[in-house]
Every structure is written in C-alpha cells, then in structure tokens.
Amino acid sequence: MSSRATVGPPKKTASYYLEKIATNYWVRTIAKKLLIVWIVMTLTFFIIRALPGNPVEIMVMSLMDSGLSSEEAYARAASLLRIDLDAPLGKQYLDYMTNLLHGDLGDSYVLAINKPVATLIAQRLPWTLFSVGTSLLISFIIGMFLGTLAAYWRNSFIDHALTNFSAAIESIPNTLTAIVLVLLLGVTWKVVPLNFMRGSLSPGIKPGFTTAFLVDLFKHYAVPGAVYVFSTLGGWMLSMRSSTISTLGEDYVTVARARGLPDLRIITAYVGRNASLPLITGLAISLGFAVGGSILIESIFVYQGIGLLLNQAIAKRDYPVMQGILLVTTITVILSTALADLLYGWLDPRIRVTGGGE
Amino acid sequence: MSKIETAPAPQKRPNEALRTLKLLARNRIGLLGLIIFVLMTFMSLVGPLIVPPETQAHVEQIYQPPSAAHPLGTDFQGREMWKMVIHGGRDVLIVAFLAGILTTLVAVTVGAASAFFGGWVDSLLMSITDMWLTIPRFLLLVVVATLVRLENVWMLALFLAFFGWPGLARQIRSQVLSLKQREYIEAAQLLDLGSAHIIFREMLPNMMSYIVIAMINAMTSAIYSQTGLVFLGVVPFGNNWGVMFSLAYAKNAIYNPNAAASLLVPMGAIILFQISLVMLSRSLEEIFNPRLQRGV
Amino acid sequence: MSQPIHVSTVQRTSAPALSVQGLTITYQAKRGDVQAVRNVSFDVGRGEALAIIGESGSGKTTLGLGIVRLLPSTATIRQGELLYRRFGAAGNGGGTSATSEVDVLQLKGRDLRQFRWKECAMVFQAALNAFNPVLRVSDQFGDTARAHGYLQGRELADRARHLFELVRLDSERVWRAYPHELSGGMRQRVLIALGLLLEPQLLILDEPTTALDILTQRNIMDVLKDLRQKLDFSLIFISHDLSLAAELADRVATMYAGKLVELSDVYTTFKNPVHPYTIGLIHAVPTLTAHRDHVSSIPGSPPDLIDLPSGCKFHPRCPLADQRCREEEPELAPASEAHHWVACWNWQSASDRLHNGQKGASA
C-alpha cells in the first residue's frame, strides 16, 4: 500500500518517480481513455476501408451516378475522405490519423456539398451535449432520490411500486416513449404546443443570453428531455436502491447512529455519499446509452443535434459525415467518462492512493 | 463420466424446470408474465398458420377506428390490424430469441473465462468489456447496419448479440466469482478435476437459473435495439410490429384520431411483450435469489 | 412468572449509573422468535467496570445494542426497564448539580440522539469498518461534536490531540487521515478516543479486540487499563475472553442463552465460581500454572435461541443436571458470599463436584 511512501526517504531515483507516475490514478485514467480513443479511431478506419460493403466503392458508384467518370469519381472520393486510395494501407492509415489529429474529418458530399464535416458537427454537437447532459443529470438526481426512498422503505408498498415501475420503463424502447409523449402531451391533452416538439429553437430566435432565448430553449428541450430522463431513470433508481440497501448494512452507519448524528447528516454524508459511488461508474455507461438514443429521439423531435445529422447522413449515405459523427461522438463520450472517473477518484479517497483497478 | 467421486454438487435436472414452473405459478406477477409471454408467443408462431395474411389493400376501409367489424381498426391501406399483429410478431420474437441466446452465449463465455482464470485474462477481457460498454454502441450499430445488409433474422440477431453482450458479461463474471468461493467448487479444484470439468459440470449447472434470467434480460434489450433499428429504416424487414408502428408514424397517424389504432396497436404489442419479459425475469430472480439485488 | 429481582452493587456508595431491570429482547425470524436476551437485570455503578462474558450467540451484543437503543428493526424489547442516572452538573444549560434519572426506553428523537454518545458511547466489535471511508478522521470528530453542540474548530482539535495522546496515537498523523490510511489497531484506538470525546459517563466496549492480532490486542488492553485510571467513567466490557475481562473488570456477569447465570466481583468469579457454566469457562482458559491437559472445553454447543430447552437452559451440557434442572429454570439468587449471585439449583455442590482447582484464579 502506501508503505513505500512512508518508509522514509531512501533513494528517490528516476525509476522511483516513473513508477509513481505510472501508478497514479489520474495518469492511469487518462492514459486508459486515450488508448480507447485510439482504438476507436483505428476501428473506424477499418470500417470505412476494409469492411465487405466497402463505403469507398459505394461512394464511387454514387459519384459516377452523378455523371463523373470512373477515374474522376475515384479521385473525388479520395479527396472527400482525405485518403490517397492508391497508397498502401499502412500509408493510408498514417495519413488518416494525421488528418484526424489536425481536426480534418473530410468533406460532406451529399448533405451539404463540399462543406467540411468538422464544421457540420461543430454546429450540431452542442445541442446534443446540452440535451443529453442536462437530462442525464436530472435523471441521475431523481433516480438517486427515489432509490434512497425505496431502500429506506424496503418492502413497503412504495418500494414495490417504485421498483416494478422502474423495471418496466427501463424495458420500453425510447422510440415508443417519445411517440407516446407526443401523442399524450401534444395531441390528446394539448399541454405542449406541437411546434415546441419540432426543432431545437423557434424560428427567429438567436442564441445568446437573452430571456427569450432561454425560455424558448427550455420549451423545445422539455419533451425530448423528458424522454431521455424517462428512459434512463429506471436504471438509476434500481442501482441506487440496491447500493443503498447494502450501505445501510455497513457498520459505519450503525456507529454513526450510535454517535447520535442527526438523520439528515447520516442519510447524506454517510449513506448517500457511499451508496452513490458505484453509480458514478454507471454514469459512463448511461452516457453512451443516451447519446446512442439521440439518433432516434432527435429524429422524432427534429432536434438539431448530432443524432439527427447522423440520421440524415445515413438516409443519404453520406459516408464522410457518418464517419466523422461516429468518431466525434464516441470520443466525446469517452472523454466525458474520463471526467466521471476523475470525479469518482475525487469522491473516494481510497482510489487515489492505490492504482485502483477492481 | 468421471470415475472419481466428486464433492456433492447440488443435483438438479429435468424436474428442476417443473419445480421452477410450480414456484412461478405461485408468484402472482411471475404467473401473469408467463401467461402473457406464452400467449403472445403462441399467437405469433401458431397464429399465422390459422389466420390468412392481409396481403391486399382495402381502399374502402382505410383508417377505421376499432369497431365490431374491425376489432383493432385498420391501417393506412385498410388492412385489418388484428391480422397484421398476429403476423407481425414472428420476426420480432425469433430475432429476440436468437439474439438472447447468442448474447448469453458470448456473455457467459467472456464472463466465466474472466472470473475463472483471473489474472491478465481477467484484466484484458474486462478492459475490452468496459470499453465496449462505454462507447455509444447504438450509433455504431446503426452505421454498421448501413454497410452490412442485415437481411435475415440470423444476421440481425448476430449483430444484436455482438453489440449487446458486455453488460451481461460483467454480471456473469461477478456471479462466477461468488460461485468460485463455494465449497464444492473448491473441493473440485482440490481434486484437480480440470477447468473444463469444473466449468461445465460443476459451475454451469448451478448457474442455470441465473443464465435463464440473463437470457430473458438479453431478449428485452434485443427487442429494445431492434425497435430502434427498424424505426430508422436500416433493417429491411417486411411486416412486423416495429415496421407497422414506424410506417404509421411516418404517415402521421399520430395526428389523426381515426388512425391512432394503427399506431398504438403494434406499439402496445411490443410494450406488452417487453413487460411480460420483465415480470418473468424479476419473479425468477425473486424465486432463485431473494437476496440478489440488481446492480449496475 | 419470574419477577425481576433487584441486583444492586453495594461496592460503591452512590446509586448506580445504569440499572437494567428484567430486560427481554426478541428478534422475529421466519422460524419463530429468537430469544436473545431474557429477563436480564444488573446495575453498573458509577466508575465501575462490569464485564459481560459468554460464548458467541449468548445475547451479549444484543444486550449492548439494547442499552443504546440501536437494535435492528426485527428486534423488540418485550419488557424491562433501563434507568440511567446522570450525575453532577449537566453539561447543557441546566446547571443543576443534582442527579437526574433518565428512562432510556422512553427516549425519543432528539433526546435519544443526545443520550447516545454524550451519555453512553459504544465501541463496536467491527471497528475496522466503523468509520465512514470517505471522510477524514477530523470530519468524523467534527460531525460527532456538532451533533452534540460540543467544541468546534481549534478547540476540538486540541481536545482530540489530548485524547489521541491518551490512547497513544500520533495525533499529527491521525487527525487528517482517511480511515483506510490507518491500521486496524489504530482505527480501534481512534474509535476509543472518539468514544471518550464527549466525556460520556458510560462506555460500552463490545469485543473491542476480537478482530485484532495478539500484539495489537495487548496494546489496546493497556490503553484501556490506563484510561480507567486516568478518567472517570463506567464501563461495560463485553467479551468471550475471560482473561481480558479479568484484567479490566471490577465485576463479572456470565451470560448463557440470553440470561445472566452468575454475577459477582471479579475475584470471586475466578477464585470461587459456583455456576457449572462459569466453572467450565474458567477451565477452558489456558493459564501459565495449569498444565495443558487440564485445559478443557465445555462439551456440546450453545442452544438454539429459537427453540430453547426446558428448565435450566444449560442442562443439556451440564454434568450435574438432574430432574429439577430439566424441568424448572433457576432464577438469579444470592449465593453464599455477599454480592455473589447465581442461577443454578446445584450451585452449593457444584464447585466441589467439578473439582474446581484454584488454578483458574491466577490472573
């Protein structure tokens, strides 16, 4: 454990410091995530270049359909993807990686002709990050609250109702949730005007720190946000419940009661804080899940995010855009999970010292 | 098979399934789940043999709300919804079954190997699992679906399994880890019966209940993802519940009160089937492992 | 049928700090009621140390948890009375120097919280896990102090430093540490220091050394003996280890199957025990003077607390058991010497018939 550090100051050689750095939790977390990012970039390259239904071939075909000759189409596809298609695969891979590191994701060729993919994505990504991020936070907080409630009132009617409800909503596809909400809120009950379920802003509203913008932003966010919350809430609630139940059995909770601490302090700092630790790890999984769902939810609500863009790119088979979105979202999600891991390390002092691991 | 007398592993076999059914029958929610599950499976697999398919449009009865003549209403081509629902379950269910089995197979292999061998095998497998768990797999699934034609149920099931195993693998791993501590497994290890013997003859039989639950959960997620893929139109299937509601949605059935049935009926079928699976799996969990709490 | 008897200490002049009268605690289990504590009565004098000894499953931990009202929800206190006496000037507000009596079983909410730790602190068996892993030791001292309106900030740190010195801890290292950075023995001493923080009148130690290795155990015992000399508090020491009890206690109560079977001062317990179970326990302790062969264990195992045997609960394991023992349960009654109580029909002949050599008395 920490014995090495306390045994006094023998010789602190370079290898000592190297080992210190290599076993540091923060360093390891970041290194692991960067490795995953690299794997994803490589994977994407091989999907585009090496999979049976080779996208490059499909691109060339569709460019030829628009009247180019075979050579012209080939050269055009190469320039759009920023790959020298005649070079050996190794060289292609190197070029591809270099371009990515420079933020060059190629150009769109159907959706927005000759527009850089990076620009397209930069316009859309903030919307997805905003809607998914906010919803996840809301769902996390409500789920923790309900889970704690169910755990404290274990086996009561409320507990059974909450757990069964959570398990049920977890299994209902988010597409169906979205459609049901549109039907109920917009068509049957007419609570939310339908134009707030289309797009991410009303026409004419300019982004900025104005009340009009914020109000409009919220109104357009409300229903799609509710769908994200609804489709992730059950998981949080069930995890928090089981985590709280096992924390309540810990000795330090009994001791805290024996110490005469107020209930509120015990629930928050003793039970809640420890019980929520395993959920922080779940945040990473949930983020990936919610972002994946954005392609469906943004399509239903015509929300101007990355999911909608991907759906449009898929409909038109715009491969550079598809590749770019896949890369950027995956990398964003992985980096966000690095944040969750760092948060975890900050919340749990036991992780910081040792290398962590399982 | 083995000549050596092994430590007594709890013997369970054919009548175990019967016993489980009896226990399930006593659990109200479980029984309800089982009944819905069996009825819908029967309807989807046997129903098409009895009820003729709706192959033709009936222009004179487009978008009829449910009535005595049209029990579940009609769709945008005037087809009877009740017949469509009976014919629309087969593909959904078969894909769910296949994907459930394949997902469980991969998850059990990865999870059991990881827990059983430990060490670097465990680290490697769990790193891969975690990575696979974190990335937005559904986006990847959608993009890959545009490249690889998921034309038949097998291909789709295989892909769903390929994208759906990591969560289960983690659960199986922790299950095997706790099983490894049990006495009869330790005894078998001491007797040096070999990994294959221990895994296949001692551990797996004792994990059957857990694996069945895992498989039901895998089916639930398979239907979840499948619904999304169908809605995006990347899975070229004929008539099934997913296609039915997607088409109805695309035809703006949502704003037409008379068309509501053509949207809601297939959606209801999917939701009902999902909830029956959830009821089944939760009741089985309660029966086999009352103390088991569903973790992350 | 059996009415509680008043077992009082006359060793100390003042009224006892804690009087337990006819306490009965049961747990609801699927098979039936677990009778963990049955009609237990005893007093703890001011400044006195009482050891409660018995095998695991004899109900001694339940008794301890019952006194601080920390029983799990499946447990109910069927009957009995817990009277706690607060001596001298009360710390908060009043300023009365008179002794006040508290009916612990009637305490609720805020009053109960104030009673816990401020009046009666309990050091638990599993001290390894007694601290919240995500809070520093200083924060956990701060929490406790704040809950009772005690010192804060600098003053609290000074008071803690003083206590850490008493339990022989390096306060610089411990104060800012997280629990996982401390060894098991250190954590146990931190918990003892935390127990003394609010100067409680009564400290309950539930097997405080069980989870520790032998050297650490020795260390903790020395600390406790030291504390007993330097500070003024009453002590209930729950243990299965007679030799530890002998070191620390003024009086010893032997518990079997949820009931006290013998109660006397520590000298009498070791020199002249009269209950066959106590005699058996003492024989089971290896001593320097006794030969190895003389160390014996009590045959049989503790009874099932759900399905207790008839009559005296010890009779299935007792070499002296006769018809009466099988039919009728003896209550705690005075033995020959003053302040020596025993619950046995045959206590008068027990010590002779069990060839109770004086060997066990060396301590």
The pLDDT assigned to A128 comes to 92
Q: Does C333 touch chain A (CB under 8 A)?
A: no
Q: Does B260 touch chain A (CB under 8 A)?
A: yes
Residue C228: inside a domain: yes
Does pLDDT of B10 surpass 60?
no
> Sorting pLDDT into bands at 50, 70 and 90, what band is C286?
low
Q: Write out pLDDT tens, residues C332-353.
A: 888 877 788 888 888 777 777 7
Does pLDDT of C222 surpass 80?
yes
The pLDDT assigned to A132 comes to 93
Residue C320: inside a domain: no
The pLDDT assigned to A54 comes to 67
Q: Write out pLDDT tens, residues A139-192.
A: 999 999 999 999 999 888 999 899 989 999 999 999 999 999 988 888 888 888
**Options 1.10.3720, 1.10.150, 1.10.3430, 1.25.40; CATH of B17-50+95-290:** 1.10.3720
Q: Name the residue in chain A with its Cα closest to that of C136.
A: A349
* Residues C135, A269: C-beta atoms closer than 8 Å: yes
Q: Name the residue in chain A with its Cα closest to that of C143.
A: A261
> Sorting pLDDT into bands at 50, 70 and 90, what band is B221?
very high
To the nearest 5 percent, what fractions of chain C are helix, strand and coil?
Answer: 35, 20, 45
* C-alpha distance from B192 to closest chain A C-alpha (Å): 28
- Sheet with C18-28: strands ordered across: C33-44, C18-28, C75-86, C100-103
- The pLDDT > 90 percentage for chain C reads 7
The pLDDT assigned to C118 comes to 85
* C-alpha distance from C221 to closest chain A C-alpha (Å): 21
Does pLDDT of C154 surpass 50?
yes
C57: CATH: 3.40.50.300
First to last CA, chain C: 39
Nearest CA to C67 among C55, C78, C77?
A: C77
ipTM of this predicted complex?
0.84
In this structure, are residues B106 and B129 in contact, taking their beta carbons and an 8 Å threshold? no
- The pLDDT > 70 percentage for chain B reads 91
* C-alpha distance from A167 to closest chain B C-alpha (Å): 7
Q: Write out pLDDT tens, residues C17-59.
A: 888 888 999 988 878 888 889 888 888 888 889 999 888 878 8
Could you tell me the residue range of the domain that residue C52 belongs to? 7-254
Does pLDDT of B293 surpass 70?
no
Q: In A, which residues are within 8 Å of B275 by CB distance?
A: 168, 171-172
The pLDDT assigned to C126 comes to 64
The pLDDT assigned to A330 comes to 87
Q: Name the residue in chain B with its Cα closest to that of A53.
A: B147
The pLDDT assigned to A133 comes to 92
Which of C134, C148, C192, C236 to probe the A interface (max A CBs under 10 A)?
C134
Considering only residues 235 to 264 of chain A, which have any Cβ-Cβ distance to chain C shorter than 8 Å?
250-252, 254-262
Mean pLDDT of C292-308: 72
Q: Give the residue ranges of DSSP H helices in chain B.
A: 14-26, 28-50, 81-117, 119-134, 137-147, 153-180, 183-190, 195-197, 204-232, 241-250, 260-288
The Cα–Cα gap between C355 and A148 comes to 60
Q: Kindly give the pairing relationship between strand C100-103 and strand C75-86.
A: antiparallel
The pLDDT assigned to C225 comes to 86
Does pLDDT of A356 surpass 80?
no
Q: Write out pLDDT tens, residues C75-120.
A: 888 888 888 888 764 444 444 456 778 888 888 888 888 888 888 8
Q: Write out pLDDT tens, residues B226-278.
A: 999 999 888 877 788 998 899 888 888 888 878 888 888 999 999 999 999 99
The pLDDT assigned to B290 comes to 56
The pLDDT assigned to C289 comes to 56
Q: Write out pLDDT tens, residues A225-281.
A: 999 999 999 999 999 999 999 899 888 998 999 998 999 999 999 999 999 988 887
pTM (two decimals): 0.83
* Residues A261, C143: C-beta atoms closer than 8 Å: yes
Q: Write out pLDDT tens, residues A309-337.
A: 999 988 888 888 888 898 888 888 888 88
Tokens 């009637």 locate to C106
Q: Name the residue in chain A with its Cα closest to that of B293.
A: A242
Instruction: Quickly count: other Cβ atoms within 10 Å of residue C278's Cβ.
Output: 30
The pLDDT assigned to A50 comes to 61
Considering only residues 286 to 305 of chain A, which have any Cβ-Cβ distance to chain C shorter than 8 Å?
none
- Which of A261, A273, A349 lies closest to C147 in CB terms? A261
The pLDDT assigned to A272 comes to 92
The residue length of chain A stands at 358
The pLDDT assigned to C96 comes to 45
Q: Write out pLDDT tens, residues C261-284.
A: 889 888 888 888 888 888 888 877
The pLDDT assigned to C2 comes to 43
> Sorting pLDDT into bands at 50, 70 and 90, what band is A51?
low
Which of A248, A255, A263, A276 to probe the C interface (max C CBs under 10 A)?
A255
The pLDDT assigned to C94 comes to 41
* Residues A261, C124: C-beta atoms closer than 8 Å: no
* C-alpha distance from A117 to closest chain C C-alpha (Å): 45
Distances (CA, A) of A52 to A97, B25, B31, B138, C196: 22, 49, 46, 20, 74
Q: Which residue has the higher pLDDT, A2 or B202?
A: B202
> Sorting pLDDT into bands at 50, 70 and 90, what band is C285?
low
* Residues C147, A250: C-beta atoms closer than 8 Å: no
Q: Which residue has the higher pLDDT, C362 or B67?
A: B67
* Residues A260, C116: C-beta atoms closer than 8 Å: yes
Q: How many domains does chain C have?
A: 1
Task: Report phi then psi at C332, rounded to 5.
Answer: -65, 125
* Residues C130, A255: C-beta atoms closer than 8 Å: yes
The residue length of chain C stands at 363
Q: Write out pLDDT tens, residues B58-110.
A: 877 877 888 877 888 888 787 888 888 888 899 899 999 999 999 999 999 89
